[in-house]
Structure formats: C-alpha cells, structure tokens
Amino acid sequence: MVPPTPPFPHPPGPFAGTDLACLRGERLLFRGLGFSLAPGGALVLTGPNGSGKSSLLRLLAGLLAPAEGELTWDGKPVAEDAEAQRARLLYLGHQEGLKPTLTVGEMLALHARLRGGRAAPAGLAAALDALGIGGLMDVPGRQLSAGQRRRVGLARLLVHPAPLWLLDEPTVGLDEAALAAFRAVAGGHRRAGGMIVAATHADLGLAGARELAPAEFAPDAAALEAVA
Amino acid sequence: MSAFIAVLARDLRLGLRHGSDLTMVVSFFVLAAVLFPFGVGPEPNLLARIAAGVVWVTALLAAMLSLDRLFQADYEDGSLDQLALSPAPLPVIVLAKAAAHWLTTGLPLIVVAPGLGLMLRLDPAGFAPLVLAMLVGTPCLSLFGAIGAALTLGARRGGALVALLVLPLVLPVLIFGVAAVEAEIGGLGGRPHLLILGALLAAALPLAPLAAAVALRHALESA
C-alpha cells in the first residue's frame, strides 16, 4: 500500500529551535520555547485553540519570522540558507490550496514541479493510492469533499520527498480508513529518517512522539510587565 | 526555471478555464472606449485627436480591474503558502504570475486595440506605434500591478486600493505610450518614446518582482 520512500535529497540532520518567541500583532504567544528533533523523530503540538500551535508551525516553515531565538538544521542556522531549508520541508496548513478548476493529478504534478522534481504519472498514482484515493486523479478540485481534500493535501507529502513534514491538524475530516492510511504513511516516512511536527487535537498514532504545548511557554502578565 | 514554467502553466490554465476574468477585462476595454464617441460626439477630427489617449487610458483601467485577483485567490485558498515554500526564489514565482497575467489580459487588449483605433478614426500612421507601444507598455502594467496587488493582500476593498497605488506608478507608461503614437502621426517619429518605454520595462522586469516578493512575505507573516 505504502510506496517505497525514495532517499531524501538532503541529509535529515537534527532540526532544533532554541529560545523561540512568536509575536502576532501586539500579542506575544510564547517565548523561550525550545525543541530538538532527531531523524525519525516526531513532535506533537498540543494545547487549546489559539495557544500558538499553528503560529509555531508557520514559524518552523519559515512563513513567519521568530521574534526571538533561532532554528537550526544540522547545527547551522536555517536563516543562512532559506532556500535550502524550504527544499527540506513540506507544509500542510489548514487549507490545502486546491483549485476548483484543476484536477487532482494536475495539482500534484504542479506541486512536484514547483519543488524542482519531475512528476511521473506512476509516482502521482502511487501517492494517491497510498491514501486510498487512487480514483481521484482526474477529478477537479471543486468536486472533492472535505475529507478528500485533506487526503489530497496529504498525498502531496509523498509526491516529492522532503525530510521534514509540518502538519497542521492533518487528520481533520478523515474517516477511519484514511486515518489508518495516514498512520502507515507517517510511519514509513519516519522509518526512512524523516521527521514530523504535527499540531493536533486527535491521536495521530505517532509512536514515541514527544509532546510540546506552546501554551506552557505563554508569558504571564507579570513577566510581560517586567519586559515593559 | 522549472518552477517558473510550472507557475506560468498553472496560471494560464486557471485563467483559461475560468475565462470570466478575461472576458470581463476585454469587454470593459471595448465598452469604455465605445462610450467616448457618445460622450464627445461623432465628430471625426475630434475623435482622431483623442483616439490614442482614449485607447491607452481605457486599456490601463481594464488592466487594473483584474489586478486585485493576481494573488488574492491564492492567498485565500492557501496555495500562496505552497508557492512561497517552493525552493525556487519567490521573485521568480512572482515574475511567472505577472507573465501569466500579461498573457491573459495585456495580450488580448493589444489584439482588440487596433479595432478600437479604427472606430475612433485613429490616423493610419498611428496603428503600428500603438501596437508596438502597447506590446512594451502593458507588461509594465502587469509588473507594477504585481507590487500593488501584493501590498494590498488581505486588505478589504483591495481592488480600489490597488488602483490607487498603481495608477501613479504607471503614469509614465501612459504618457510615453500616447506620445509614441502622437509623435509618429505628427511626423516626428515615435522611436524615442518607444525606447523610453523599453527602458521602463527593462527596469521593471527585475525590480518589480523583487519588491512584490518582499510585500508577499510580509502579507504571509500576518496571515
């Protein structure tokens, strides 16, 4: 069911963050947050809504600059080579970025080419099969259900391999079969040395994953006054 | 390069499948130009005198109409995140989107423009410089427009804001575009004006995608 994961084009070095702080508008979501992720590791972000899980994921993806602290890959700051870092990661946000008028196959092929790869039809079909949506290749985006959209978003992770997956609530809207498929895919990715950071409220079945709650690093009112 | 072609192909495909944007831009262009003979009267000399200016101004406004959609749809459905996370440099992706915008709006305007010139009794000597000036000038509109569209991402009433931001920037394109046609008709030769338009395009090609990319990163930060 799961396609053999090709070797990563980049060595999956340890990915770590130290003393990270995130500022959204006027509000400091967290500060002093640190983590370290070894090849094959998984990190699950937990906590109540609005505690900064999605912001932390966007920060890890490089879409958001940390207000303080730095991210390192294999000991080197990722800010030194942002393009190489973007090549190492795949991000699945709340929205899958699917177009109503493009077919699933076209969107996956575009994704592969956008990441500098070739889009072999066999590879695309294998990615869809792995998530149990092999029949959706020629279906336009507007006809997909919410669960199918999510599965297409997950299939994108397999089209062009990258060692670091950043997933924002990857299993929202998935049925039991899709959940099992996701677990198989995630397990295969980690066995190949890939890393996963996922924000979730559900049990993703990531064995041995460490938990991180951004809310624990939220500055309390007293600390904020001390800063001011 | 692979990312440039991928984004260009994607946007062209989206533009052609949607179709409505393209039809709207071209029909606005034609309708607005057709209004002028009704407004100023059908006097041939008067129309011939203002023909170049009318075609250019209406083309400019028509191009503005479609600008706010340049990044907005991608921003709303999350695909802008994916584009910004591509290993390819963001300015290259912006350039591809601006190129697709020009091919789906600028180019159709150029195809229609001689017909409008004919309707407005443009001097026969003016047709070649009009098409040439638009060929060089309309890509500038798409490039400058990309900056405005990126800056207004996420803003309410983005469309009007884009026009406010971009229209002052494209004033030189309008001035030299019209001057090229008038100079050719007046026997002075439109070449110097076309060269200035070319210089504007040469400057906008590398600089506008850089500026728009910075604005996009900023918009994504607050997403």
- Say if the Cβ atoms of A97 and B79 lie within 8 Å: yes
Asked whether residue A31 is assigned to any structural domain, the reply reads: yes
Indicate whether A196 belongs to any domain. yes
Report yes or no on A143 lying in a domain: no
Q: ipTM for the complex?
A: 0.86
Long-range contacts of A82-85 (CB under 8 A, 24+ apart): A83/B87, A83/B88, A83/B89, A84/A10, A84/B87
Select from A83, A91, A97 the Cβ nearest to the Cβ of B89.
A83
Split into its structural domains, chain A has a count of 1
* Residue A175, domain member (yes or no): yes
Verify whether the Cβ–Cβ distance A116 to B223 is below 8 Å: no
The distance of Cα A161 from the centroid of its chain, to the nearest Å, equals 12
Local confidence band at B29 (pLDDT 50, 70, 90 cut-offs) = very high
How far is the alpha carbon of B101 from chain A, nearest alpha carbon, in Å?
17
pLDDT by residue for chain A (228 residues), tens only, comes to 444 455 665 566 788 888 888 888 788 888 888 888 888 888 998 888 888 888 889 998 888 888 888 888 888 888 888 888 888 899 998 888 888 888 998 898 888 888 887 777 888 888 888 888 888 888 998 898 888 999 999 998 888 888 899 999 888 888 888 889 989 999 988 888 889 999 988 888 888 888 888 888 888 755 555 555
Q: Is B13's Cβ below 8 Å from some Cβ in A?
A: yes
Cα separation, B87 vs B158, in Å, equals 29
Alpha carbon distance B153, B51 (integer Å):
35
**Count of structural domains within chain B:** 1
- Give the nearest partner residue to A111 out of B13, B82, B222, using CB atoms: B82
Asked if A114 and B18 come within 8 Å (Cβ–Cβ), the reply is no
Question: How many residues appear in chain A?
Answer: 228
**Residue A216 is part of a domain; what is its CATH number?**
3.40.50.300
The CA R_g of chain B, rounded to the nearest whole Å, is 18
Cβ within 8 Å, pair B2-A86: no
User: Does residue A108 fall inside a structural domain?
Assistant: no
Predicted confidence (pLDDT) per residue in B94-120, tens digit? 999 999 999 999 999 999 999 999 888
Residue A76 lies in a domain: yes
| Residues spanned by the domain of A69 | 15-99+163-227
Confidence class of residue B180 from pLDDT cuts 50, 70 and 90? very high
Domain ranges, residue B190: 2-221
pTM of the prediction? 0.89
Look up residue A206 and give its amino acid.
L
Q: At what angle do helices B20-40 and B2-18 cross, to 10 degrees?
A: 60
